[in-house]
Chain A
Amino acid sequence: MPEQNLLEMKGIEIQFPGVKALDKVDFSLRAGEIHALLGENGAGKSTLVKCLTGVHHMDAGTILFDGKEIKPTSPQDAFSMGISTVYQEINLCPNLTVAENIFVGRQPMKHGMINWKEINKRAQELMSRFHMDIDVTRPLNNYSTAIQQMVSIARAVDIDAKILILDEPTSSLDDNEVKLLFDVMNELKAEGMGIIFITHFLDQVFAVCDRLTILRNGSLVGTFNIQDITKLELVTMMIGKDMDVIFNLKRAEVAPDAPEMLSTKDLGTPGKIQNVNISIKKGELMGFAGLLGSGRTETAELIFGAVAATEGTETVNGKQVTIAKPIDAINAKLAFCPEDRKRDGIIGDLSIRENIALALQARRGFMHPISMQEQNELANKYIKLLSIATPNAEKKIGELSGGNQQKVILARWMATQPDLLILDEPTRGIDIGAKAEIQRLMLEMCGEGVSVIFISSELDEIIRCSNRIVVMRDRKKVGEVNGEGCSQQTILNVIANGMQEGETA
Chain B
Amino acid sequence: MPERIPDRRQSLASRLLKPQFVMVYATIGIFILIYCYGAVRFGDIGFTTLRTFVNMFKDNSYYGISAVGMTMVLITGGIDLSVASVACLTGMIVAYGTSVLGYHPAVCMLVALVVGVGIGLLQGAAIHYLGVPPFITTLAGNFLARGVCSLISRESISVSHPMIDALAGWKWYFKKYADGEWVKIKPIAFINVNLLVFLLMIVIGTYILHRTKFGRNIYAIGGNEQSARLMGLPVGRTKVLVYGFNGFCSVLAGLAYLLEVKSGWNLALNGGELEAISCAVIGGTLLTGGVGYMIGTLFGVLLKSVIPALITFNGTLLSWWGKIATGGLLALFIVIQRIVVTVSERKRDAKKKASPS
Contact = CB atoms under 8 A, between A and B. Distances in A.
Contacts of A99: 2
Nearest to B224: A93
Interface string A83-99: 00101001111111101
Contacts of A94: 223-224, 290
B296 to A, nearest CB: 15
Interface string B1-31: 1110101111000010011100000000000
Q: How large, as a class, is the contact surface on chain B?
A: 35 or more
8 contacts: A95-B20, A116-B1, A120-B5, A124-B7, A137-B15, A139-B20, A177-B356, A293-B357
Contact of A137 (B9, B233, B355, B356): B9
A19 interface: no
Given A75-B229, A93-B227, A146 B356 contact: yes
B291 interface: yes
A61 to B, nearest CB: 23
A303 B269 CA distance: 55
B211 interface: yes
Interface stretch (B179-187, B212-220, B303-311, B323-331): B212-220
A121 B2 CA distance: 10
A45 interface: no
B222 interface: yes
Contact of A114 (B19, B210, B356, B357): B210
Given A76-B232, A135-B8, A137-B9, 12 more contacts: A91-B224, A91-B226, A91-B231, A92-B227, A95-B291, A96-B219, A114-B211, A117-B5, A139-B19, A143-B351, A292-B356, A293-B357
A145 interface: yes
A133 interface: yes
A291 interface: yes
Nearest to A134: B8
A107 B216 contact: yes
B223 A93 contact: yes
B223 A105 contact: no
B101 interface: no
Contact of A93 (B211, B228, B357): B228
Contacts of A176: 357
A100 interface: yes
Interface string A174-205: 11110000000000000000000000000000
A390 interface: no
A75 B348 contact: no
A141 interface: yes
A104 interface: yes
A120 B3 contact: yes
Nearest to A159: B232
Contacts of A135: 8-10
Contacts of B290: 93-95
Contacts of A177: 356
A391 to B, nearest CB: 23
Contacts of B15: 137
Nearest to B211: A113
Nearest to A97: B2
Contacts of A137: 2, 9, 15
B231 to A, nearest CB: 6
Interface in A112-156: 112-114, 116-117, 119-121, 124, 133, 135, 137-139, 141-146, 155
B2 A104 contact: no
B2 A113 contact: no
Give 4 closest A-B pairs by Cβ, nearest first. Answer: A93-B223, A95-B290, A76-B232, A95-B223
Contact of B223 (A96, A113, A142): A96
Interface string A205-233: 00000000000000000000000000000
Contacts of B220: 93, 96, 104-105
A176 B219 CA distance: 33
A144 B355 contact: yes
B26 to A, nearest CB: 18
A75 B9 CA distance: 34
